[in-house]
Amino acid sequence: MLLVLARRLANVVPTLVAVIALVFLLFSVLPGSFISGMGEDGRTTIDPAVMERMRKEMGLDDPLPERFAKYIAHTAVGDLGKSFRTREPVTYLIGQRIWPSLKLMFAAMAFAIVVGVTLGFLAALRPGSLVDTVSMVAAISGLSLSQFWFGLMLMYLFALTLQWLPSFGYGDGGIMHLILPAIALGVGPMALLARTTRAAVLDVLNADFVRTARSKGMSERRVVEWHVLRNALVLVITIIGLQFGSLMGQAVVVEKLFAWPGVGSLLIDSVFQRDMPAVQGCILLIVLFFLAINTLVDIAYVAIDPRIRYGR
């Protein structure tokens, strides 16, 4: 167990360093300046003298290697610098966004898992049936949908036409505001999970040990409960992990559409305002999250699959 973790971390650290370097280099050549004036429908005016001063203050005119060295040194001790825009520490800025982001992701993933895995399961248990056909057509359609388009449709249907749910925003952080963005974000992973689960369960149902289980005189239900579920889970959990890990990045579109105060909307806002420290911080967090989730998945494997636990 510890060995797995250690091996994992040994992999994670260089990746993280590389990401930091890459993100820094990418964004240090970004054209446009955070203090440019034409943002916000041309409503913001900027004094060029102030601009110069701020560039100096933020060290933007220093040579690149020097800035890079500084950035790495600071990042290593958890200091992501100060946002150009708000003048607050980036860690603080991001800290405010993590909880809404996590909430949205967990809700979206819960939706994806509950609906996707269930559909995939039902489809696999009755291959070729109506349930199978309908859910697989739904799944492949879900994968073919433009996310913002789908979100907008949800908004029109559930907020405007049916008036069941609020259309946007975070509200007081209650569940009602969470539902629509979570579905919009979750539909992609849901579709993928439905397909994966179906394939995985079909795989397992064709496995020899399931035939053994049947030869024991077990009811289908027990076959599924005792032997199919866990084995299918091993296959499904990879996809869950990959999806969950990249969800923070995927959420950009949904967060922008629904004005959800997560890391994704901070990122896109910061990109447009050229707030480099915030952009770098957001991407770093997104990558970190991905790596963390994948490490968790590895640990989950160890818990579920004895073959890994005993180091095969």
Partner 1 sequence: MPSDRFVQGEMLMRILVWSAVAAFALMGAGVADAQQAQTPRKGGVIRMTAPYAASFGSLDPQATPRAQDDIVNKAIHRTLYNWDTANSKLVLELAKSVSVSDDGLVYTYKLRDDAYFHNGRKMTADDIIYSYTRIMDGKKGYPGARYIRLIKGATDVEKGTAKEISGLRKIDDYTLEITITDRVDPGYYLFSGSTAILPKEEAEKPDFASHPVGLGPFKFKEHIPGSRVVMERFDKFYKPGKPYADRLEVLIMAEAAARDVAFRNKEIDTSILGPAQYVAYRADPQLAKGILEVPEMFTRSIQFNLADGGAKPFKDKRVRQAFNLAIDSDLIIKRLVKDKAYRAVSWLPPSSASFDKTMKPYAHDPEKAKKLLAEAGYPNGFEFELTTSQNESWGMPIVEAIMPMLAKVGIKIKPKLVEVTVLTEIAMKGEHQAYIGSSLTGPDSLATLRCYYSKTPRTACNYTGFSSPAFDKLLDEAGQTGDMAKRTDLLKQANNVLYDEAPVWFFNYNKAVLAHQPWIHGLQANPTEITHQYPEDIWVDATSPAK
Partner 2 sequence: MTADSLLRVEDLRIALAGDRTIYNAVEEVSFEIRRGEAFGLVGESGCGKSITALAVMGLLKRPLSLGGGKILLDGEEIQNASAARMRMLRGSRIGMIFQEPMTALNPLSPVGRQIAEMFVLHQNAGWSEAMDRAEEALRQVRVPSPGRRVKDYPHQLSGGMRQRVMIAIALACSPELLIADEPTTALDVTVQAEIIDLMAELCAAKGTAILMISHDLGLVANMCKRVAVMYAGRIVEAQPAEAIFAKPQHPYTQGLVDSLPRLGERSRRGQQRLREIAGVVPSIQAYPAGCRFNPRCPRASDVCLTTAPAITPLPAANSIEALVRCHHHG
Partner 3 sequence: MTLIPIKLMPRLRGGTSLWIGGGLVGLAVFVAIAAPLIARTDPVMDANLMNAEIPPGWEFPFGTDAQGRDIYSRIVYGARISLTVGVGSQILNSLIGVSLGLTAGYWGGWWDDFVTALTNLMLAIPSLIFALAIMAILGPGLSSLLMALGLTAWSYSCRIARAQVLSLKSQGYIQAARILGYGDLRIMFTQVLPNILGPLIVIATLGMGTAILSEAALSFLGLGIRPPFPSWGSMLSEARDQINTVPWLSIFPGVAIFLTVLGLNLLGDGLRDILDPQSTTRRS
Interacting residues with partner 1 (CB under 8 A): 31-34, 36-51, 53-54, 57, 85-88, 93, 96-97, 100, 152, 155-156, 159-160, 163, 166-170, 173, 255-262, 265-266, 268-269, 272-274
> Closest distance between partner 1 and the C-beta of residue 52, in Å?
8
User: Least distance to partner 1 from the beta carbon of 44, Å?
Assistant: 5
Distance of CA 198 to the CA centre of its chain: 23
Least separation in angstroms between residue 35's CB and partner 3 is 16
Q: Does 4 bind partner 2 (CB under 8 A)?
A: no
The CA distance from 179 to 72, in Å, is 39
Q: Where does residue 40 rank: exposed (0-12), middle (13-18), buried (19+ CB within 10 A)?
A: exposed
Q: Report the half-sphere exposure of 105 (CA within 13 A, side-chain side).
A: 26
| Contact status: 149 vs partner 2 (CB under 8 A) | no
141 binds partner 3 (CB under 8 A): yes
Interacting residues of 30 by C-beta distance below 8 A, sequence separation 6+: 274, 276
Smallest gap from Cβ 198 to partner 3, in A, equals 8
**Contact call for residue 250 and partner 2 (CB under 8 A):** no
Shorter beta-carbon distance to partner 1: residue 52 or 225 = 52
Residue 130, interface with partner 2 (CB under 8 A)?
no
Question: Looking only at residues 174 through 233 of this chain, which bind partner 2 when binding is defined by CB under 8 A?
Answer: 207-209, 211-219, 222, 226-227, 230-231
Q: Binds 209, which of partner 1, partner 2, partner 3, none (CB < 5 to 8 A, cut-off by type)?
A: partner 2
Contact residue for partner 3 among 54, 242, 300, 304 (CB under 8 A): 242
Residue ranges in contact with partner 3 by CB under 8 A: 11, 14-15, 18-19, 22-23, 26-27, 29-31, 127-128, 140-141, 143-149, 152, 156, 192, 195-196, 198-200, 203, 235, 238-239, 242-243, 246, 248-250, 252-253, 256-257, 267-268, 271-272, 283, 286-287, 290-291
